[in-house]
């Protein structure tokens, strides 16, 4: 058996280590935004390419629609004007190169029905957020409509990936 003084010493040392770990953990800032980061568009396109194997046919179709939106951004002039990240199966897009979610952003989500959901997160009140759900093959056109309606940048036509006036 261990001597009582030895046990007290071990307990005291373990308690001190826990206290130090707790102080270290408390000094770090862990917000959901801190765990996300703006990523290069080519990486985002590759991520959605990998996700095309998930779920049933309808869900895969919705993922492919989101991949088309990411590709539209990645392969054109938008790659220098918009900043994005992924969150689970969602594509998130914002105008500024700041911490993800620190300001308004567009969230593009695949739905189990095969539709693609567009939601502009500019308020915490869901009923006040701009919102549209479209067929997967209409996702690039809806993205262009969103850009036009909110006047983020000049309208981009999906067929040519060029700006129009």
Across the chain, which has 165 residues, the per-10-residue mean pLDDT values are: 62 58 45 61 90 86 94 89 90 88 91 94 90 94 88 63 55
CB atoms within 10 A of CB 19: 10
Q: What angle do CA 142, 155, 103 make, to 5 degrees?
A: 75
> Which of 111, 163, 103 minimizes the C-alpha distance to 92?
103
**91 touches 44 (CB < 8 A):** yes
CA distances from 120 to 108, 139, 143 (A): 9, 14, 11
**88 touches 35 (CB < 8 A):** no
**74 touches 82 (CB < 8 A):** no
Enumerate the domain spans of the chain.
4-30, 35-163
Using CA atoms, how far apart are residues 69 and 58, in angstroms rounded to an integer? 17
Q: What is the predicted pLDDT for the residue at 157?
A: 59
pTM to 2 decimal places: 0.71
């Amino acid at each position: 058996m261990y001597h009582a003084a030895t046990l007290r010493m071990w307990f005291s040392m373990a308690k001190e280590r826990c206290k130090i770990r707790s102080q270290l953990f408390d000094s770090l800032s862990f917000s959901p935004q801190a765990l996300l980061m703006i990523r290069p568009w080519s990486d985002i396109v590759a991520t959605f390419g990998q996700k095309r194997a998930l779920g049933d046919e309808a869900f895969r179709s919705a993922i492919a629609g989101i991949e088309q939106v990411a590709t539209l951004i990645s392969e054109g002039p938008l790659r220098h004007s918009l900043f994005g990240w992924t969150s689970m199966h969602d594509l998130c897009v914002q105008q500024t190169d700041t911490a993800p979610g620190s300001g308004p952003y567009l969230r593009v989500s695949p739905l189990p029905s095969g539709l693609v959901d567009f939601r502009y997160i500019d308020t915490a009140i869901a009923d006040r957020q701009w919102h549209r759900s479209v067929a997967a093959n209409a996702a690039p056109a809806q993205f262009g409509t969103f850009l036009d309606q909110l006047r983020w940048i000049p309208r981009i036509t999906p067929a040519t990936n060029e700006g129009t006036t």
